[in-house]
Amino acid sequence: MNQYREPEVLPARFPNLLVNGTTGIAVGMATNIPPHNLGETIDAVDLLMENPEATTRDLMEVLPGPDFPTGAMVMGKSGIRRAYETGKGSITLRAKTEIEELPGGKERIVVTEFPYMVNKSKVHEHIVRLAQEKRIEGITACRDESSREGVRLVVEVRRDASAHVILNNLFKLTQLQTSFGFNMLAIEKGTPKILSLKQILTDYIEHQIEVVERRTRFDKARAEARAHILEGLRIALDNIDRMITIIRESATDAIAQKAMMDEFQLSDKQSQAILDMRLRRLTGLERDKIENEYQELIALIADLADILAKPERVKAIIREELGEIRRKFADKRRTELLVGEVLNLEDEDLIEEEDVLITLSNKGYIKRLSNDEFRAQKRGGRGVQGMNMSDDDFVQHLVSTSTHDHLLFFTNLGRVYRMKGYEIPEYGRAAKGLPIVNLLKLDEGEKIQTVINVVKSDEERYLFFTTRKGLVKRTNTQQFANIRTNGLKALNLREGDELINVLLTSGKENIIIGTHNGFSVRFEEAVVRDMGRSATGVKGVSLREGDFVVGTAIVHDEQEVLVISEKGLGKRTIASEYPVKGRGGKGIKVMNITDRTGKLAGLTAINGDEDIMVITDTGVVIRTSVDNISQTGRAAQGVKIMRLDDDAQIVTFALVEPEQEDEELSETEITSNTEE
């Protein structure tokens, strides 16, 4: 009341600009500062007071990022670091979810925490709408089960759908994943400025120093004023008889006050206090109280003066007071901070490295599954169902890789795309998979033709390309180190040609090429010079009319060549039966092609200790050891490795690491296990 000045800044006891956060819009400017954990923010202030040279990285050791009242998760620290260093940046917020397994193989998604400022009811409505419009397949129900015990939004998933894929789509299409933009604009000494984290904390410390110093000066002045009064009262008590005489002889208060001031050198306030003093204060007990209070004030004044004279004591007071607030009010962090962006390279150490199989169907459905999904069978087994396929779809590519390896996807149009093994969604053995167009930006008419895996040690190696019309090209892998999300041109194709296969080589290998009509050529890789990405290539094999390339492989003399026909016959032949000749020849026979064998489905080189997984166009898979396949001559037809239905054909096969167990399951055991 009756004040002519108003405070510009309130004396905040904690860094509320960071702890509470703020958002607002003014003319030509806006601010958006997220809330932070009270205890962590105080720890950051304490660290900066102890070490004014601390860097943003040092501060993030104790204040790692925002802490939102709704919890949820922050995906990656790089955005936080940029915002803390520059005052501007963006982070990705993601709801906290879990996938619950239900009886009968069903799953459901449960959301327990939502991103900051996201309305749960609106998200619920949006999910229902997406399911009704079939923009997300596989959702059977969505209901809100929230109660006093906490938030719980449940999304029921169809039995044959992948909860992981649906969840990823929910993150993409709803506010279960949002972004928060930092714009740490604040008024600093009357001027709007974009501030870094360190600047905000430094300004707060300077503000607290000013608050403590002004408070100390105020307390010191008040103590000095009181001590001044007590000094007068002490003089009066020491000369009480004379004081009483002066008062008796004075006609008025003013005369008495003037007489006291003249005789005892008292101030106006001291003399007035003596006149106002009650008689009961003349007792011995009251005299002791006045003396004790005076001595306490003298000590307090000295202490306050010492505080003002020593900046380190001011900082110690600030740290002590903040520590008291921390002890009383600090709580645990609610928002979880994940290291690295979601599913990017920074997260690789958080993802378990394991051997996996990647399957890609003719119609473009891709999935990742564990290498243990298929147990080895004896030669001639019926196999187990590896994928639920429609009548006109079948598995086209099968790659044995690791979750940490790079996968290069080469298309029929000569383009290449890249993904990590863990970026391929994981499905069960019988699941259909996810359309690859959801993962790669394929153009119209573009189809994945071959997939190879590249490990970190493959940087000084080559990619050997083979086209349907028999052209070959060799290019260093370093030319494919940086591949954009929309792909990269791997080679130029002639009209009517398409890419068939790509091999990862050392530059000094022997290459064997097999054709559909059962011919092959073998030549040294070095005869094909290193070419750039834009090159078309040179002739690798001269094709007879109606023939085309079905497979290529790297082969060594100590290896064997494995060939498999469309009707399930296979054989192993020592590599020396395939002589090394110049590239561009018509080739020699690899199998005696008849109606019984069908034409050649593919060929590869083996060491003899591998397992092989063979896939038909109906989606049936058999895994068997290549040791179960007889070794025969180059012109022989081979042995039956898989019994096929009348209308089924083998479309592809892949080598995988042998199982650790020596036990092999018979056809009867496989059937029994499948039925169970």
pLDDT digits (tens, 9 = 90+) for 503-539: 989 889 999 999 999 999 999 999 999 999 889 999 9
Q: Which of 583, 577, 516 is nearest to 544 (CA)?
A: 516
End-to-end CA gap in the chain: 85
pLDDT class of 457 with cuts at 50, 70, 90: low
Task: Tell me the HSE value of 553 on the side-chain side, using a 13 A CA sphere.
Answer: 24
pLDDT class of 300 with cuts at 50, 70, 90: very high
pLDDT above 50: residue 157: yes
Task: Tell me the HSE value of 625 on the side-chain side, using a 13 A CA sphere.
Answer: 14
Alpha carbon separation from 572 to 381, 383, 549, 576, 653 (Å, rounded): 18, 21, 20, 12, 14
**36 and 21 in contact (C-beta within 8 Å)?**
yes
Total residue count of the chain as it appears in this document: 676
The CA distance from 275 to 260, in Å, is: 10
**Out of 10-19, 147-156, 192-201, 323-332, least confident range:** 10-19
Q: Which of 451, 430, 438, 542 is nearest to 504 (CA)?
A: 451
**657 and 371 in contact (C-beta within 8 Å)?**
yes
Give, as one character, the DSSP assignment of residue 438.
G
Long-range contacts formed by 48-57: CB under 8 A, 24+ apart: 48/198, 48/201, 48/202, 48/205, 49/205, 49/315, 49/318, 49/319, 52/202, 54/198, 55/198, 56/81, 56/84, 56/85, 56/196, 56/197, 56/198, 57/81
pLDDT above 50: residue 213: yes
**33 and 22 in contact (C-beta within 8 Å)?**
yes
Q: Of all residues in the chain, what percent carry a pLDDT higher than 70?
A: 90
Residue in the structure block whose two tokens are 């199982």: 659
* Beta strands 384-385 and 620-625, pairing class: antiparallel
pLDDT above 90: residue 459: no
pLDDT class of 582 with cuts at 50, 70, 90: confident
Higher pLDDT: 289 or 654? It is: 289
Residues 533-574: tens digit of each pLDDT: 889 999 999 999 989 998 899 999 999 999 999 999 999 999
Q: Which of 577, 589, 586, 591 is nearest to 636 (CA)?
A: 591
Average pLDDT over residues 646-651: 86
pLDDT above 70: residue 210: yes
pLDDT at 663: 39
- Name the residue type at position 106: K
**388 and 399 in contact (C-beta within 8 Å)?**
no
Helix (H) or strand (E) holding 225: helix 197-238
* Beta strands 588-589 and 650-656, pairing class: unpaired
The CA distance from 621 to 619, in Å, is: 6
Higher pLDDT: 345 or 97? It is: 97
Cβ neighbour number for residue 34 with a 10 Å cutoff: 24
What tokens appear for 588 in the block?
């020699």
Helix (H) or strand (E) holding 180: strand 177-183
pLDDT above 50: residue 35: yes
pLDDT at 487: 86
Higher pLDDT: 441 or 586? It is: 586
**Out of 15-29, 104-118, 338-352, least confident range:** 338-352
**Out of 231-235, 392-396, 401-405, least confident range:** 392-396
pLDDT class of 344 with cuts at 50, 70, 90: very low
**105 and 130 in contact (C-beta within 8 Å)?**
no
Q: Is 461 helix (H, G, I), strand (E, B) or coil?
A: coil
Burial class of residue 614, CB neighbours in 10 A (0-12, 13-18, 19+): buried
**614 and 650 in contact (C-beta within 8 Å)?**
yes
The CA distance from 113 to 324, in Å, is: 31
pLDDT class of 671 with cuts at 50, 70, 90: very low
The full DSSP string for 415-433 is: EEEEEEGGGSPB--TT---
The CA distance from 67 to 19, in Å, is: 9
pLDDT above 50: residue 324: yes
Q: Each residue of 448-486: b (16+ CB within 10 Å) or e?
A: bbbbbbbeeebeebbbbbbbbbbbbbbbbbebbeebeee
The CA distance from 555 to 655, in Å, is: 14
pLDDT above 60: residue 347: no
Which stretches of 494-546 are assigned E, i.e. beta strand? Answer: 499-505, 510-515, 519-524, 538-539
* Beta strands 336-338 and 73-75, pairing class: parallel
pLDDT at 185: 95
Residue in the structure block whose two tokens are 């002639």: 494
The CA distance from 601 to 565, in Å, is: 5
- Name the residue type at position 403: T
pLDDT class of 661 with cuts at 50, 70, 90: very low
What tokens appear for 656 in the block?
């995988």
Q: Each residue of 628-659: b (16+ CB within 10 Å) or e?
A: bbeebebeebbbebbebeeebbbbbbbbbeeb
What tokens appear for 555 in the block?
């082969």
pLDDT at 664: 39
pLDDT class of 3 with cuts at 50, 70, 90: low
Average pLDDT over residues 579-600: 89
Helix (H) or strand (E) holding 475: strand 471-476
- Name the residue type at position 432: K
pLDDT class of 364 with cuts at 50, 70, 90: confident
pLDDT class of 355 with cuts at 50, 70, 90: confident
The full DSSP string for 126-155 is: HHHHHHHTTSSTTEEEEEE--BTTB--EEE
Residues 175-204: tens digit of each pLDDT: 999 999 999 999 988 899 999 999 999 999
Average pLDDT over residues 33-50: 96
Alpha helices in 310-355 (DSSP H): 311-329
- Could you say which of 3.40.50.2300, 1.10.357.10, 2.120.10.90, 1.10.8.100 is the CATH number of the domain covering 351-675? 2.120.10.90
Average pLDDT over residues 254-266: 92
pLDDT at 672: 27
Q: Which of 196, 115, 194 is nearest to 153 (CA)?
A: 115
pLDDT at 373: 64
Residue in the structure block whose two tokens are 């169907």: 361
- CA torsion, ordered 324, 327, 331, 333, to nearest 10 deg: 80
Q: List all residues 6 or more positions away from 206 whose beta carbon is below 8 Å from its beta carbon.
A: none
Residues 69-126: tens digit of each pLDDT: 999 999 888 889 999 999 999 999 999 999 898 888 788 999 999 999 999 999 999 9
The CA distance from 234 to 281, in Å, is: 11
The CA distance from 167 to 94, in Å, is: 11
Could you tell me the residue ranges of all domains in the chain? Answer: 96-175, 221-308, 351-675
pLDDT class of 360 with cuts at 50, 70, 90: confident
Quick one: CATH architecture of 96-175?
2-Layer Sandwich (3.30)
Quick one: CATH architecture of 221-308?
Orthogonal Bundle (1.10)
pLDDT above 50: residue 64: yes
Q: Is 63 helix (H, G, I), strand (E, B) or coil?
A: coil
pLDDT above 60: residue 343: no
Average model confidence (pLDDT) across the chain: 86
